[in-house]
Chains A and B, each alone.
Chain A
Amino acid sequence: MASTTSPLDSPPAPPAPPGRPRSTGRVGDKIFIGLSRGSGILLLVIMASIAVFLSYRAVLAISKDEGNFLTTLDWNPAGDPPVFGIAVLLFGTVVSSVIAMVIAVPVAVGIALFISHYAPRKLAAPLGYVIDLLAAVPSIVYGIWGALVLVPYLEGLNLWLDQFFGWTYVFEKTEVGIARSLFTVGILLAIMILPIVTSVSREVFLQVPKTNEEAALALGATRWEVVRLSVLPFGRSGIISASMLGLGRALGETMAVATVLSPSFLISLHVLNPGGGTFAQNIAAKFGEADEFGRDALIASGLVLFVLTLLVNGAARLIIARRKEYSGATA
């Protein structure tokens, strides 16, 4: 917002002090420009080579696929003829991630708000550490915990959901069996992405300009109204970014899902039923035993996950860009 400062506020830059060789800064500048430009180019090269590698191997596999790669409900690249498709994996990945987001984002925003605006300082700092600590737990540990603790404990919840919300179809449990389901995976993923969503949101909430909050306070806003009028609107794009980071992790999570889920190649909206699969889980489960062609097939599924993640991030950027005029970055 250039117009908030009068021309008087920015006097012309003073001339360089005499006697000081002007080139001293330039060597550093050149090195720095080279470094930063190099890093930028390196990133593009890495991304491009991953995309090329994935595409090349994927094309090798898909061209020999006798089933429809997108719709086949089977994964048998070793068969004769080879038949495999990603429908189940795409479905399972999206459903488990959506469940994770629905649970994790509101909780994370709540925790972040509590830490940044409600908790007394003595409590806020330790709480922040604990949340960050959740992120330090290796995903295989989450997987084991999920399989040994979460799965048995969720059976009661599953029965309850089935009994009272079975009419929604989604929560109808038609198969007996322990809770190694997409729903359980979703809950586990929610816990796993909680720290990243929380800490990014918290950072954004702490950056809300004091003047914005005072504007609301001075109008006679209560604490919740300050949050609603100043903090949440300012933090909106930050919450979206935080969620996308979390979603990225949920989409790609491997070990925890592989440990908890009992995989099957069926698509069912009954999320409480055991079965289903995700891209990363499927790759982890099958990569070791697959032959060269089987690996190409798995890489083809990895390419789809790659594209899915790109799409999700692109969509998030679109949402943020559309709100840019109102983002508060100009205030």
Chain B
Amino acid sequence: MAKRIDVGGLTAYYGSHKAIEDISMTVEPRSVTAFIGPSGCGKSTFLRTLNRMHEVTPGGRVEGKVLLDDEDLYGAGVDPVTVRRTVGMVFQRPNPFPTMSIFDNVAAGLRLNGSYRKSRLAEIVEKSLRGANLWNEVKDRLNKPGSGLSGGQQQRLCIARAIAVEPDVLLMDEPCSALDPISTLAIEDLIGELKERFTIVIVTHNMQQAARVSDRTAFFNLAAVGKPGRLIEIDETERIFSNPSVQATEDYISGRFG
């Protein structure tokens, strides 16, 4: 269930380009942590190192440690596939499997993990869809393709798919940036409910969103274009938005750059 993330001295590369440098932080279980910062500061890259999706990109590699309740995700003999089964991810654009029905989309992760009896599968799918606040909208058309839903519904479908496998951590990479304000609100409400069960990390460009949904906020920045991104500070969200300890954070939040 929800686990603590402990990152120590993490540096990530794309080929020879250093994208982020020496990042350390702790993310508490059953909390929402938001990553903010200007474009190119490496917050998405850092997020993708937390479930080893970074190394899927050609040339992507990582140095440092990511501990999930004392277990190093980058330890020798750790299979990235297993890591991704315990650290779920929701992407910027809703990406349900277009050829699958709504039901099969939610069941996809479960079917990868093992075999379930039909009734048990239906139970988990319903629970996950309820958990994603989508059940009432789709319960009559579970066999219709997921790509027929609206953008906001598709994103909640992706969240249902991610939580169906009961991950320890849920990563969200700008989950609302392709959505309209009403769908955004629905997702934000959902995040508030999900944090009771999961450790949530969310990347967002929308500072109001960070202020609304997160308990803690991390500010990333880069010294110049082409330089690696760094963690500037991480603190209680309230403090970051009212009285940050670093000047750059305040400049960014008050809109003086970025």
Would you call B150 and A3 a contact (CB within 8 A)?
yes
Distance in Å: Cβ of B49 to nearest Cβ of chain A: 13
Would you call B109 and A325 a contact (CB within 8 A)?
no
Residues of A within 8 A of B145 (CB): 325-326
Would you call A217 and B84 a contact (CB within 8 A)?
yes
Residues of A within 8 A of B84 (CB): 217-221
Selected contact of B98 from candidates A7, A121, A219, A326, CB within 8 Å: A326
Interface extent on A, as a size class?
A: 20 to 34
Residues of B within 8 A of A327 (CB): 98-99
The residues of A with any CB-CB pair to B shorter than 8 Å are: 1, 3-8, 121, 209, 211-212, 214-222, 225, 229-230, 233-234, 236, 323, 325-331
- A-B residue pairs in contact (CB < 8 Å), sample of 17: A3-B150, A4-B94, A121-B58, A209-B95, A211-B93, A215-B95, A217-B56, A219-B108, A219-B112, A219-B165, A221-B84, A229-B108, A233-B97, A325-B148, A329-B98, A331-B96, A331-B147
Residues of B within 8 A of A331 (CB): 95-96, 98, 147
User: B17-69: which residues lie under 8 A (CB-CB) from chain A?
Assistant: 51, 53, 56, 58
- Of all chain B residues, the one with the shortest Cβ separation from A3 is B150
**1/0 contact trace for B57-98 toward A, CB 8 Å?**
010000000000000000000000111111011010111111
Selected contact of A1 from candidates B100, B151, B162, CB within 8 Å: B151
Interface size on B, residues (CB 8 A): 39
Q: Does B140 contact A (CB under 8 A)?
A: no
Would you call A326 and B99 a contact (CB within 8 A)?
yes
Would you call B98 and A330 a contact (CB within 8 A)?
yes
Knowing that A3-B150, A331-B98 are A-B contacts, what are 6 other residue pairs whose CB atoms are under 8 Å apart, sorted by A's residue number?
A4-B154, A6-B180, A6-B181, A215-B97, A234-B99, A236-B99
Once the chains are docked, how many angstroms separate the CA of A1 from the CA of B84? 29
User: B82-129: which residues lie under 8 A (CB-CB) from chain A?
Assistant: 82-86, 88-89, 91, 93-100, 108-109, 112-113
Distance in Å: Cβ of A321 to nearest Cβ of chain B: 15
- Of all chain B residues, the one with the shortest Cβ separation from A328 is B98
Residues of A within 8 A of B161 (CB): 215, 219
Contact A214/B99 with A1-B147, A219-B112 known, Cβ cut-off 8 Å: no
Residues of B within 8 A of A121 (CB): 58
Would you call B95 and A212 a contact (CB within 8 A)?
yes
User: B163-186: which residues lie under 8 A (CB-CB) from chain A?
Assistant: 165, 178-181
Q: Does B158 contact A (CB under 8 A)?
A: yes
Once the chains are docked, how many angstroms separate the CA of A330 from the CA of B56? 26
Would you call A220 and B148 a contact (CB within 8 A)?
no
Contact A215/B85 with A3-B151, A325-B145, A330-B147 known, Cβ cut-off 8 Å: no
Would you call A5 and B151 a contact (CB within 8 A)?
yes
Distance in Å: Cβ of A161 to nearest Cβ of chain B: 37
- Of all chain A residues, the one with the shortest Cβ separation from B88 is A218
Would you call A219 and B85 a contact (CB within 8 A)?
yes
Give 10 closest A-B pairs by Cβ, nearest first.
Answer: A220-B85, A328-B98, A233-B99, A4-B151, A6-B180, A331-B98, A218-B89, A211-B95, A219-B109, A220-B84
- Of all chain A residues, the one with the shortest Cβ separation from B82 is A220
Distance in Å: Cβ of B102 to nearest Cβ of chain A: 12
